[in-house]
Amino acid sequence: MRLTGRTDYALRAALELAAHGGGPLTTDEISRLQGIPTSYLGAILAELRRASIVRARRGPEGGWFLTRAAAEISLADVIRAVGGALTDVAGTRPENLHYSGPAAGLQPVIVALRAAERQILETVSLADVVAQKLPTRIRRLLDDPHAWE
């Protein structure tokens, strides 16, 4: 799995909002706190708004808010909002891949990879990451020393 810079920024912005406890943060504040270029962040926040992950309020007490509790927003929700599908091959979803000959067995492996990504990214919420309390299944994966190589 490869996360684009845009996806990384979206995750970091959403996590900053989750950590802020429901109060508003301006684009400039998120930018400063996470070291994300402000002009780029504005476009990312707009994508997150279109996906109903964040909302904006204008005025002196305005800024960006999460639309739901951080525990109800998964990492997969944020990734899909800015990056589309979790797993694809050159823009093609795994179920639409067609291989032949010795590569014919590759499609099920890529489908399984997507399933494994979903099992992690759909079960870890913004609140889990902010609290640094990952689900047991994820912690078990991290206990394997090879996970860090």
The answer to whether 64 and 15 have CB atoms below 8 angstroms apart is no
- CATH code of residue 23: 1.10.10.10
Q: What is the pTM of this model?
A: 0.88
Between CA 88 and CA 95, with CA 89 as vertex, the angle to 5 degrees is 65
d(CA 63, CA 28): 10
Whole-angstrom distance, CA of residue 120 vs CA of residue 104: 27
Q: Show the domain range for 52.
A: 5-148
Distance between CA atoms of residues 111 and 88, nearest Å? 9
Residue 57's DSSP bridge partners are 63
CA gap 74, 25 in Å, rounded: 20
pLDDT the model gives residue 70:
96
pLDDT by residue for the chain (149 residues), tens only, comes to 778 889 999 999 999 999 998 779 999 999 999 999 998 999 999 999 999 999 998 888 789 999 999 999 999 999 999 987 777 777 778 888 888 899 989 989 888 988 899 999 999 999 999 999 999 999 999 999 998 88
Indicate the number of domains in the chain: 1
